[in-house]
Amino acid sequence: MKKIILHFILICIVVILPVIIFEYMSNHEYHDFAFIGGITYFIYALYWILKIKNHTAKIIFGSILQFLFIMVVGLFFIEVENFEFTSPVLLAINLMIYPYLLIKNPRSKDKKKWKAFLLSFIIIFILSLLGSLFWFYVLAMSGMQNMRY
């Protein structure tokens, strides 16, 4: 019964809260952050990641979810003036976390955990590079309004 109630509460948060936030924002003419309720989707994804028994998979999926969350937060700030480079800066901050985790968890203590952090660092590094390149490409293309083919 506890699991059913927990899932019901999480589904209500994920399904109803974004609609309420969107209606409130659009009624009060805050169109810049009208889709901020979409952040609640990460709550449900985090719940399922925490249910994973394999510690290595949990670390890797958690880091990918963290990357996606930081990318979405960066996208929310695109409408604010002078915040065009928010997403690459947030991705760089995200990349600074993983070397700290690799140094904090030396290889001699728990080899499996260290390898999981190393693998997640490599995945996040590649995703961050691709995300930043995509971000700069989108910024470059947005300046060429009349030259789209």
pLDDT score for 137: 79
Q: Please report, for the chain, the start and end positions of each structural domain, with discontinuous segments joined by +.
A: 1-51, 54-149
Write the pLDDT tens digit of every residue in 48-86: 888 889 888 898 898 888 888 877 777 766 666 566 666
Mean pLDDT score, 141-148: 64
Give the DSSP per-residue string, 65-131: HHHHHHHHHHHHGGGSTT-TTHHHHHHHHHHHHHHHHHHHS-TTT-HHHHHHHHHHHHHHHHHHHHH
149 pLDDT above the threshold of 60: no
Higher-pLDDT residue of 133 and 38 is 133
Q: What is the dihedral of CA 87, 62, 111, 118, to 10 degrees?
A: -20
pLDDT score for 144: 64
**Cβ atoms within 10 A of the Cβ of 31, count?**
10
Comparing 55-59, 118-122, 132-136, the range with the smallest average pLDDT is 132-136
- Show the CA angle centred on residue 76, arms to residues 71 and 80, nearest 5°: 130
Q: What pTM was computed for the model? A: 0.69
CA neighbor of 72 nearest in space, from 38, 48, 32: 38
